[in-house]
Amino acid sequence: MTEIELLQSLNTRIIEIYNEQNLLPITGNDGKMNLQNGRPLLSWSNSITRHRNCAFRTTPVNYQHLIDDLTFISDELLYFTAHLFLYRPHINDPLKDAFATPSGTIVYPVFTNFAGKRYEMYLNVCYEKAYNFWDRIGDLIASFFPADFPGNIYFISVIKKLKTIYSGNSDLDWLDDFVTNVFTDYNETRKKSVHTITQRTENKWKQLGQVGDEQKSRELSEEILGYPDEFKKMLDLCNEGIVRTLDFLEFVNKDKGYQCTQ
């Protein structure tokens, strides 16, 4: 098998996982670039963002770049999540690797094969890609309120500030609920992984401290094996989140009176 054939074989397997796990990016899997509500991403987003740029002609935003970036990041999260599913059946598991010492003590060890190491690497990437996606969503929303967000943009702070103004808007309420109940915890894990300790190292040393405890080993193992499903849910939230965002910005255009004259 040549190198390109090997790469093509891997790509074929990844696409199979997309279908097996029903993993979808924001634009679906049929090549039509439609969002989950059936609306075409490019034309719908342009019909919304153009009015913002008409309202702020001296500070235009390149929305083509921003929407293109959101699309690419969604594809990245899809791809790397599929790799978690690819490697999961083959990683080491302390429960499966358990052995008895000469004295009869059962040990639940920390072994790491190549599949387990790749799994841990892709996990870190998935946290980064999820953050990247929602960071761009924050940029998109904040751009409609240039006076309110003149400096660095943070998704959480954007949503929390707008919640005080647009409470009761179903789309903004959905985004606020997502921030409160999902994204904040994701972001804390991401920040810890970037600035302090990776999930891999934290999980490894947690297990090393409990190698004789079956229940704790089982709980940690279930958490580790659950990462692919966790990011599958995140993909679904991204798919709904982009629709909610554009629906909200369509409302903002009307609320603020952003309107191109032609």
Q: Considering its fold, how many domains does the chain have in total?
A: 1
Is 3 domain-assigned? no
Tens digit of pLDDT for each residue in 106-122?
A: 999 999 999 999 999 99
Domain that holds residue 54: 23-256
What is d(CA 155, CA 133) in angstroms, rounded to the nearest whole number?
10
E strand intervals along the chain: 99-100, 106-107
Mapping DSSP onto H, E and C, the string for 58-121 reads: CCCCCHHHHHHHHHHHHHHHHHHHHHHHHHHHHCCCCCCCCEECCCCCEECCCCCCHHHHHHHH
Q: What is the mean pLDDT of residues 45-49?
A: 97
Tell me what pLDDT residue 262 has: 72
Is 16 domain-assigned? no
> Is the separation of the CB atoms in 179 and 160 below 8 Å?
yes
Is 9 domain-assigned? no
Q: What is the mean pLDDT of residues 208-214?
A: 96
Is 12 domain-assigned? no
Is 151 domain-assigned? yes
Q: What is the pTM of this model?
A: 0.95
Is 179 domain-assigned? yes
Tens digit of pLDDT for each residue in 151-210?
A: 899 999 999 999 999 999 999 999 999 999 999 999 999 999 999 999 999 999 999 999
Q: What is the mean pLDDT of residues 235-258?
A: 98
